[in-house]
Amino acid sequence: MNLKEEINRLRKEKNAVILAHYYQEGDIQDLADFVGDSLALAQWASRCTADILVMCGVHFMGETAKILCPDKKVLVPDLTAGCSLADSCPADRFADFVKAHPGHTVISYVNTSAAVKALTDVVVTSTNARQIVESFPQETPIIFGPDRNLGSYINAVTGRQMLLWDGACHVHEQFSVEKIVELKAAHPDAEVLAHPECKGAVLKLADVVGSTAALLKHAVKSPCRRFIVATEAGILHEMRKQCPDKEFIPAPPNAGICACNECNFMRLNTMEKLYACLRDESPAIEVDPDIAARAVKPIERMLDISRKLGL
């Protein structure tokens, strides 16, 4: 069977759209109706007019799409595609943390469960986190969760002292400072591009810190010909596609030769599972209606602020 042809036939027949995050395998990105970062995927989902939305990403991305379009069928090819960062913030413990710090505005990264979003005042992604934090007066007490690296980075660039939840992504925490320093020495002309989920020591070595979409945009417009990229390796596919004459070197993880710069959760989605989920219209994301009713407010607030900011 030609998987690509079958997927194309099914998506037409069923009026389905396929959205993919930059961390998906190349074949899935190439086939998707839209490829983007977490913010762009949520924005796209909020405007979706198709009957079925297939989210080729991880569970929280499917959940966010389902919360934004409750009447649509939202499918994720592998429902077990979780996220270590979202898992580092269980809703019951986060609720205790919020309760222990009354009077704080709660800002949560989109990499969280719907139950954590339901405890949140405004959701952010790596594209808009800084601007959304800055939209609150400097003295506003803020709880920021769950990513301690993104939170520390925003504290540093905004001069704030947000209270941070102690969570992290296992992929972005793995990049080796020593190996990036060695790569920089071997390629002094290269720019280092890093995602803000990386540790502070890696971000200090970076020429540009930004979301996957921001790093891609920079790579396209920069006169530089060579880049060391410290984020999940899936983004290299689109970077190489858009800049065929530039060189992209994946930043190495601490562990050496293993593929630790690939997110094992993101890579659970495959072309075979994408085909099967379109054929069976399953597995579908369901969100508890009470949780969804509370979680939609901070997500829509984020979309609203982003629109006003032109993001």
Point out which residues bind ligand 13P (CB under 6 A): 37-38, 111, 125-127, 197, 211-212
Return d(Cα 251, Cα 233) in angstroms, integer: 9
Specify the residue, 147 or 191, whose C-beta has the smaller distance to ligand 13P. Answer: 147
Q: Locate 117 and state its tokens.
A: 């979003």
Residue 169 touches ligand SF4, criterion: CB under 6 A: yes
Nearer to ligand 13P, 7 or 211 (CB): 211
237 binds, among ligand SF4, ligand 13P, none (CB under 5 to 8 A by kind): none
Residues 191-210 that bind ligand SF4 (CB under 6 A): 197
Quickly tell me which residue has 């800002």 as its tokens: 107
Residues numbered 96-135 forming contacts with ligand SF4, rule: CB under 6 A: 111
3-state secondary structure of 243: coil
Phi-psi group of 144: left, alpha or beta (phi > 0 → left; psi -120 to 50 → alpha; rest → beta): beta
What count of other Cβ atoms lies within 10 Å of the Cβ of residue 153?
22
Give the C-alpha separation, 201 to 261, whole Å: 17
Among 7, 180, 266, 299, binds ligand SF4 (CB under 6 A): 266
Looking at the Cβ atoms of 120 and 126, the one nearer to ligand 13P is: 126
| Contacts with 49 (C-beta within 8 Å, 6 or more apart), sequence order | none
3-state secondary structure string across 252-273: CECCCCCCCCCCCCHHHCCHHH
Q: How far is the CB of 266 from ligand SF4 (least distance, A)?
A: 5
* Of 10, 72, 68, 78, residue with least CA distance to 41: 68
For ligand 13P, give the closer residue by CB, 100 or 259: 259
Task: Give yes or no for residue 275 binding ligand SF4 (CB under 6 A).
Answer: no
CA distance 48 to 71: 11
Nearest to 58 by CA among 269, 301, 306: 269
Q: With binding defined as CB under 6 A, does residue 85 bind ligand SF4?
A: yes
What's the min distance (Å) between Cβ of 114 and ligand SF4?
A: 15
Please choose which of ligand SF4, ligand 13P, none residue 211 contacts, taking the beta carbon within 5 to 8 angstroms, the exact cut-off set by kind: ligand 13P
263 near ligand SF4, judged by CB under 6 A: yes
What is the closest distance, in whole angstroms, from the C-beta atom of residue 288 to ligand 13P in the complex?
A: 22
19 binds ligand SF4, rule: CB under 6 A: no
Q: Which does 120 bind (CB under 5 to 8 A by kind): ligand 13P, ligand SF4, none?
A: none
- Short-list 169, 223, 159, 160, CA closest to 191: 223
Q: How many residues touch ligand SF4 (CB under 6 A)?
A: 15
Q: What are phi and psi of 147, to 5 degrees?
A: -90, 110
- Binding partner at 292 among ligand SF4, ligand 13P, none, C-beta below 5 to 8 Å by kind: none
Member of 53, 83, 132, 260 binding ligand SF4 (CB under 6 A):
83
Nearest distance, CB of residue 13 and ligand SF4, angstroms:
30
**Residue 49: other Cβ atoms inside 10 A:** 8
Distance spanning both ends of the chain, measured CA to CA: 41
| Cβ neighbour number for residue 198 with a 10 Å cutoff | 28
**Residue 84 contacts which entry, ligand SF4, ligand 13P, none (Cβ below 5-8 A, type-dependent):** ligand SF4
Q: Which residues bind ligand SF4 (CB under 6 A)?
A: 23, 58, 83-85, 111, 169-172, 197, 232, 263, 265-266
